[in-house]
Amino acid sequence: MAAFTLPALTPQLLLGLTALAVLAYDSVFPEGDNRRVLVGITTAGTLLTVAVTGFFLASGTGLPSTGGAIPLFHGQLVVDGMGLFFTLIIGSVTLLVAVASYDYLEGHPYQAEYYALLVMAALGMSLMGVANSFPTGFISLELASLPAYALVAFLKHDSGSVEAGLKYFLIGALSSAVFAFGISLVYAATGSLQFGAVAAAVSGASNLVGLLGVGVLMVLGGVAFKTTTVPFHFWAPDAYEGAVAPISAFISSASKAAGFVLAFRLFVTAFPIHTLAPMGIDWVLAVQLLAVLTMTLGNFAAATQESVKRMLAYSSIGHAGYALIGLAALTGGQNAIVLGAAMMHLFVYGFMNTGAFLFVALAEYWDVGRTFDDYRGLARQAPVASVAMTVFMFSLAGLPIGGGFVSKYFLFLGAVGAGFWWLAAVGAANSALSLFYYARVVKALWIDDPLGEPVTITDRPTGLYVALLVAAVVTVLLLPFFRPVAETAVQAATVLFA
Amino acid sequence: MLIELLLATAFVAGLLVLLVDDEVAPRLAFALSLLPLLVSLAMWAGFDGHGNVLLGGQAAFQTVVPWLQLGPYALNWHVGVDGISLPLVLLTTLLTPLAILSAWTPIDERQSQFYGLVLLIETALLGVFVALDFVVWFVFWEAVLIPMYFLIAIWGGPRRRYASVKFLIYTNVASLLLFIAFVALVFGLGDAVSSFELPAIAQALQTTAPSALAGVPPNTLKTVAFVAMFIGFGVKVPIVPFHTWLPDAHVEAPTPASVILAGVLLKMGTYAMLRFNFTMLAGVARSLAVPIAIVAVVSVIYGAMLALAQQDLKRIVAYSSISSMGYVILGLVAYTTYGLGGATFQMISHGLLSALLFMVVGVIYNTTHTRMVGDLSGLADRMPITVAVFVAGAFGYMGLPLMSGFVAELFVFLGAFGASFSAAPVFTAVAMFGIVIVAGYLLFAMQRTLFGAYRVDTDYEAERAPLHDIAPLLVLVLVVVALGVAPDLFYNMIQGAVNPIVHLAAGGGV
């Protein structure tokens, strides 16, 4: 052990400092085109966060090898493998989005605010990963959400962007209210707010089962908003479509991952199913229903879209359905594999889905249009970016070109092993359907000829290309070098159940 | 390490060809495709495996490297070949350079992408035959779809978009089905296995009764898994009624892709059936012998009848593949040395012969721009070598002695006739009738197109094919005859690998 150890919350502290540094720089030098510096600060800060988090994970912080989870502030926060794992996802997505935004936001005002909000939202999301009580969870969720509302509405002269922001905000506010009310009911039934204490108290709440049950359901509804689980998904397609594309990438990847980590910790730690199920509060059953609904609706809706961005929005709902298997297939005796696989899937998803939205950002940057037809023949103009997009599409569809293949099949494998073969079967049917619409993008890029005059592309924005290629390379490399992700995820999940 | 070298040469060749200019791509791809062929020939020369790798036999060129640990399960990079997989590896490495040569004339756009994808598909196909860990195997199994999708979709015929998506989704659904079935089986074994290694699972299935999974009793689990995998693999084979993607894909695919598709890709299905259904679950296979034999015979007869009804030469060959694959399944279900050995030999033989016929049809199409029987007549005068090869290939298909088709079909029939399931001789006799239909449609097609007065009903004339079109045909004819004269080139090692299965199915254990 080194003599000097970093505080366990270093990644979060770094994110907070980065946001403040961006604001501080902008208030000292408000004039002129300073976006290079702003992007520089953001990139350096998030890169450092990712590096520190990766180092923590590699050295076993919060994992059994170094003494297990590290509770902080009397168990209000807990730094463990899962929290760090998701901080790594969120940090990586933020990094990609920040780099890509450099070109995308060229010429827009309020750049400092944009990057500060982005990093603050990332901070809130990573805090969701370590929150270990209802108040910290709720506050982190709000810290993640409020900047995100503003970011979605960032193009304030674009009616689509503003409408998307408003829709996101209204439904978000409603969900927060539902969440808060659920928390109050749980508190009324158990008298505790810290997850571990709630778990200890639920068995004594047998005369308040009704109250507790409604509370659990409302809490589920609250997090379902963040994870875009049907029927709390209505905001997602509009928000993803209306927002600037890098922000769509950010919200659909990072924010979703944050929602899931909160849900995983909350339900596994605070509402242990082996205690709640005998009381009649079988939330696993509810999640199973939600998982089936979410993947089916997401995929069917995605299959009927004409706009690529909207297709990606719905497909992102479909993937939320797959990730829900992580909770839905618990109690089958393969908990660590199931939950670990969901974590792995969200990890790979962080790269492949972000990459896909960044390709849309690139297409918007070039003004090629939004529909499948507009993408026709683009591969001839931009072969490198098209290869990257092909990687994302096939990896999302679960073909072995990237890590998405392994993580998706591990999820199905876990579900089958837990005895929920029907859950895997529904997932499989959806996965086959998803191949249809993902292949449409590939077909448009490589196979179809342009309908009208092909767009001429002269300008290759460096930031967007770098982010796109990094995401693609990571996605591909995650297939052969999946080991650290898979083993860390399963270990972290094991710790959670211990 | 030879297997890693084999995969690496094909993969790197593919990437390299994707990056070069269209002018050099054809020649470079052909030159590079000879490297995997050389490596596989070295493997053949140095083959020291014996027995069946799944049933305690010794695989040649085996490597095991840990990949990752998924909870209690170790996933390993585990590759190796035995007497069943090595011939299929050789088939793949032989057909790829020939397919590349046959592409020189017809493929005139986006060459570097085309040849790169052909080499990548070769990598994936080789991976399927050498992988001995389920997850590694499944990665390669699915990886085949990506290059094949592009090959059909970019260079295919008029309905290529429809055909490529149909191929992609149809076979993907099948893969998902077999994945769930196999994984359920593995989890049913519980603590008896701690990895997804095929040999370990195959042996555990013989010694350990699976426990109930999710309330499904063990025997039902085995049967359901068997049926699901049979269907999952059957789509690739294809067996009737899961064959409808095949004619679409074939007719729309460019000739070289058809060569790979019929020559190797279909064998993935029968190879996997042999490994998974007929080796691992031999007990279930024996109890379901009659329904499986019915499926086999229906595929033989129905496929042949469909071929009989076609006017398009390529469709005739495509449908006849369904018929030929039916023989493979009939041989497998017989559970005799000749049956299983003949089925494996038929995979090789059909790979060569169907590739040959597809190439001949391709050569005719290159110059006449039609494949319709009614548009062609008397080609023998204009393209004597091509026509001679066509005749030779067709007779090989019908099972003319001294060609590989004869050996394969003879062994299958001998094996199936002596099988112990009820009415085996009847099934065999009905299946043999398929040969008559094959002879019928091939003779009919040849008579109409090759002989008689010369006539081509298009704006093109039939002209002598260039050397690079003819060369692969001659190579294939030579190999087909060599295997017909000396089947022991492969048959010995095949027999060594299938005998443990026969022994196991007869109740002899691993």
Inter-residue contact A50 to A88 (CB < 8 Å): yes
Measured from the Cβ of residue A452, the count of other Cβ atoms closer than 10 Å reads 8
Can you read off the two tokens belonging to residue B354? 């169907």
Span between the terminal Cα atoms of chain A, in Å? 25
pLDDT for A314-340, tens place per residue? 999 999 999 999 899 888 788 889 999
d(CA B214, nearest CA chain A) in Å: 4
Nearest to A494 by CA among A338, A361, A365, A389: A338
| Amino acid code (one letter) for B109 | E
- Which residues on chain B are in Cβ contact (under 8 Å) with A334? 71, 187
Residues with Cβ within 8 Å of A406's Cβ and at least 6 positions away in sequence, in order, are: A344, A348, A400, A478, A479, A482, A486, B135, B139
- Give residue B214's pLDDT: 67
Whether residues B71 and A405 touch (CB distance < 8 A) is answered with: no
Distance CA B209, CA B217 (A): 11
SS3 at position B399 = coil
The answer to whether residue A404 neighbours chain B at the CB level (below 8 Å) is no
Inter-residue contact B137 to B28 (CB < 8 Å): no
Measured from the Cβ of residue A473, the count of other Cβ atoms closer than 10 Å reads 15
| Amino acid code (one letter) for B296 | A
SS3 at position A78 = strand
Please work out, in degrees rounded to the nearest 5, the angle formed at the alpha carbon of residue B114 by the alpha carbons of B471 and A387.
160
- Would you say residue A4 has pLDDT above 70? no
- Give residue A179's pLDDT: 94
The answer to whether residue B71 neighbours chain A at the CB level (below 8 Å) is yes
Band of pLDDT at residue A1, cut at 50, 70 and 90: very low
Inter-residue contact A274 to A335 (CB < 8 Å): no
d(CA B166, nearest CA chain A) in Å: 9
- Give residue A36's pLDDT: 86
**H or E stretch including B277?**
none
Query: Torsions phi, psi of A77, nearest 5?
Result: -120, 155
Distance CA B255, CA B101 (A): 11
Residues with Cβ within 8 Å of B436's Cβ and at least 6 positions away in sequence, in order, are: none
The answer to whether residue A354 neighbours chain B at the CB level (below 8 Å) is no
pLDDT for A139-170, tens place per residue? 999 999 999 999 999 888 888 889 999 999 99
Whether residues B154 and A446 touch (CB distance < 8 A) is answered with: yes
- Give residue B510's pLDDT: 65
Task: Provide the residue count of chain B.
Answer: 510
SS3 at position A185 = helix
Q: How does the average pLDDT of chain A come out, rounded?
A: 90
What secondary structure letter does DSSP report for B379? Answer: G
Q: ipTM above 0.85?
A: yes
What secondary structure letter does DSSP report for B61? Answer: E
Inter-residue contact A153 to A161 (CB < 8 Å): yes
Q: Nearest by CB to A447, which of B153, B172, B214?
A: B153
Distance CA A451, CA A445 (A): 12
**Concatenated DSSP letters of B99-123:** HHHHHTTT--SSHHHHHHHHHHHHH
- Give residue B206's pLDDT: 86
Place of tokens 């931009």: A382
What secondary structure letter does DSSP report for A133? Answer: B
- Which residues on chain A are in Cβ contact (under 8 Å) with B71? 334, 336-337, 340, 490
Give how far Cα A470 sits from Cα of A289, A464, B215, B250, B348, Å: 36, 10, 46, 37, 43
Inter-residue contact A36 to A469 (CB < 8 Å): no
pLDDT for A90-136, tens place per residue? 999 999 999 999 888 888 888 889 999 999 999 999 999 999 999 99
- Would you say residue A3 has pLDDT above 60? no
Interior/surface letters B410-438, b for 16+ CB within 10 angstroms, e for the rest: bbbbbbbbbbebeebeebbebbbebbebb
| Amino acid code (one letter) for B266 | L
| Torsion, CA A97, CA A101, CA A104, CA A108, rounded to 10 | 140
Give how far Cα B348 sits from Cα of A399, B256, B339, B436, Å: 28, 18, 14, 22
Inter-residue contact B67 to B76 (CB < 8 Å): yes
- Would you say residue A469 has pLDDT above 50? yes
- Give residue A266's pLDDT: 92
**H or E stretch including A214?**
helix A209-226
Residues with Cβ within 8 Å of B118's Cβ and at least 6 positions away in sequence, in order, are: B14, B29, B33, B96, B99, B100, B103, B147, B151, B256, B257, B260
pLDDT for A63-103, tens place per residue? 878 878 888 888 899 999 999 999 999 999 999 999 999 88
pLDDT for A342-355, tens place per residue? 999 999 999 999 99
Nearest to B476 by CA among B345, B351, B316, B319: B351
pLDDT for A40-65, tens place per residue? 999 999 999 999 999 999 888 888 78
The answer to whether residue A420 neighbours chain B at the CB level (below 8 Å) is yes
Can you read off the two tokens belonging to residue B188? 């049913």
Nearest to B357 by CA among B467, B449, B274: B449
Query: Torsions phi, psi of A19, nearest 5?
Result: -60, -45
Domain ranges of chain A: 283-498
Query: Torsions phi, psi of A154, nearest 5?
Result: -60, -40
For residue A423, the chain B residue with the least C-alpha distance is B180
For residue B153, the chain A residue with the least C-alpha distance is A447
Tell me the mean pLDDT in the region A303-310.
92
d(CA B109, nearest CA chain A) in Å: 12
Mutation choice for B interface testing from A343, A373, A390, A421 by most B CBs within 10 A = A421
For residue A407, the chain B residue with the least C-alpha distance is B70
Residues with Cβ within 8 Å of B5's Cβ and at least 6 positions away in sequence, in order, are: B39
Inter-residue contact A104 to A360 (CB < 8 Å): no
A·B CB contacts under 8 A: 101
Mutation choice for B interface testing from A413, A478, A482, A495 by most B CBs within 10 A = A413
- Which residues on chain B are in Cβ contact (under 8 Å) with A410? 70
Query: Torsions phi, psi of B376, nearest 5?
Result: -120, 145
**pLDDT by residue, tens only, chain B of 510 residues:** 899 999 999 999 999 999 999 999 999 999 999 999 999 999 999 999 888 999 988 999 999 999 999 888 999 999 999 999 999 999 999 999 999 999 998 888 889 999 999 999 999 999 999 999 999 999 999 999 999 999 888 888 888 888 888 889 888 999 999 999 999 888 888 888 889 999 999 998 888 777 767 677 888 888 999 999 999 999 988 888 888 888 888 888 888 888 998 889 989 999 999 999 999 999 899 999 999 999 999 999 999 998 888 888 988 988 888 899 999 999 999 999 999 999 999 999 999 999 999 999 999 998 898 889 888 888 888 889 999 999 999 999 888 889 999 999 999 999 999 888 888 899 999 999 888 898 888 998 898 899 888 888 888 888 888 888 999 999 999 999 999 999 998 999 999 999 999 998 887 766
Inter-residue contact B415 to B502 (CB < 8 Å): no
Distance CA A108, CA A118 (A): 15
- Which residues on chain B are in Cβ contact (under 8 Å) with A437? none
Q: Nearest by CB to A394, which of B138, B146, B164?
A: B146
- DSSP β-ladder status, B376-377 and B73-81: unpaired
Query: Torsions phi, psi of B70, nearest 5?
Result: -110, 95
